[in-house]
Amino acid sequence: MDKRKIIVLLVLSIAVIGFTMGQACAATTTIKVGKYKDVGKGDRISTFYQPKDAQYLKGVYAVIFYHNKKLGDDFAPHTYVLSKIKVYYKNKKGKVITRTSTAKNISGFSILSTKKINGYTPYKMDVSYRKMTSSEKKKVTGSLFY
C-alpha cells in the first residue's frame, strides 16, 4: 500500500472512533412527567406539564439545574446539559403519539419544551443529556442571562 491509502485509512478509522465515542458520552433516561431525577454531580433533571398559560407557555418542559441540599439550587447546570427530549402523549382511547425537541442554542441546553396537544396528556419523556464542554461551561456559568 502506498502512503496515501494508509493516511486515508488512518483518518477514516479516527473518524469512526470519534463518532462512536460521541454517542457513548451521551446518556438517556426516562422520567415521568411531574417527577425529577438526579443525574450526577449535583445536577437534576425536572419535568413538568403546563396545561394553561402562566409563568411558562402551555406545554411540557424538561429543566436541568444544579441541586445542593445545603447550599440550595442554582438555576444553571454545573456538569451536564440537555440534548434532546422525546415526550409521549396519550389520549382517552389509548393512542400514543410522540413529539421531539432538541437543543439548538446555549439557553436550550438547560430547558427544552414541546407544545401542548389538545386531546392528549403527556405521561413520560425520554431525556438525553451529555457532559458540558469547557466552552459551554464558561457560557452557562459565566452569565446570568444567556
CB-based contact 101:113 (threshold 8 Å): yes
pLDDT given at position 25 = 66
pLDDT given at position 78 = 85
Q: List the grid coordinates of 52.
A: 394553561
Mean pLDDT, to the nearest integer, of 114-133?
Answer: 93
Specify the pTM: 0.75
Distance CA 11, CA 31 (A): 39
Decide if pLDDT at 146 tops 70.
no
pLDDT interval class at 74 (50, 70, 90): confident
Measuring CA to CA, which residue among 55, 49, 66 is closest to residue 125? 49
